[in-house]
């Protein structure tokens, strides 16, 4: 699994908005607080708004805030919308791959890994991550 800058910045932005909820946070304040490039932070915030994770208000007193409570935002949903498939092989989703011979079952393995990641990330909400309520690895 590769975590893109967009996914990393997006989750960091959502965590900051969750921490400061229900206050509005400007892109500039978010960028400074998380040490993110401002232009890229604005792009990520617009994409988060497009996907319904954040709401925005224009104007001098404007900014961004979560569109719904942090406890209702699963990380799996955020990561899937910002980054696409969790597991890719040479930029292809596992279910699109076919191999012959001894490697014929390899795409199924990558699919199981993808399903496992979904299972973990879909069970963790933004609120869980904010307070450090993460599942234990056994």
pTM of the full predicted structure?
0.88
pLDDT band at residue 138, thresholds of 50, 70 and 90? low
14 contacts 73 by C-beta, under 8 angstroms: yes
Would you say 75 and 36 are in contact if contact means Cβ atoms under 8 Å apart?
no
The class that CATH gives domain 5-131 is: mainly alpha
Q: How far is CA 91 from CA 2, 69, 82, 102, 111, in A?
A: 10, 33, 15, 22, 14
Q: Write the DSSP string, 57-80.
A: E-STT-EEEESS-GGG-BHHHHHH
Question: What are 11-66's pLDDT values in tens digits?
Answer: 999 999 999 999 999 999 999 999 999 999 999 999 999 999 999 999 888 999 99
Give residue-wise pLDDT tens across range 78-133: 999 998 778 888 888 888 999 999 999 999 999 999 888 888 999 999 999 999 99
């Amino acid at each position: 699994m590769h975590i893109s800058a967009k996914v990393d910045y997006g989750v960091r932005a959502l965590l900051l908005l969750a921490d400061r909820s229900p206050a509005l946070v400007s892109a500039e304040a978010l960028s400074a607080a998380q040490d993110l490039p401002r232009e890229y932070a604005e792009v990520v915030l617009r994409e988060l708004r497009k996907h319904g994770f954040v709401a925005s208000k224009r104007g001098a007193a404007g900014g961004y805030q979560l569109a719904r409570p942090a406890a209702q935002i699963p990380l799996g949903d955020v990561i899937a919308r910002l980054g696409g498939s969790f597991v890719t092989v040479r930029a292809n989703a596992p279910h699109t791959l076919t191999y012959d011979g001894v490697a014929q079952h390899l795409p199924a393995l990558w699919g199981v890994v993808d399903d496992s990641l979904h299972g973990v990330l879909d069970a963790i909400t933004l609120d869980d991550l904010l307070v450090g309520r993460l599942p234990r690895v056994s």
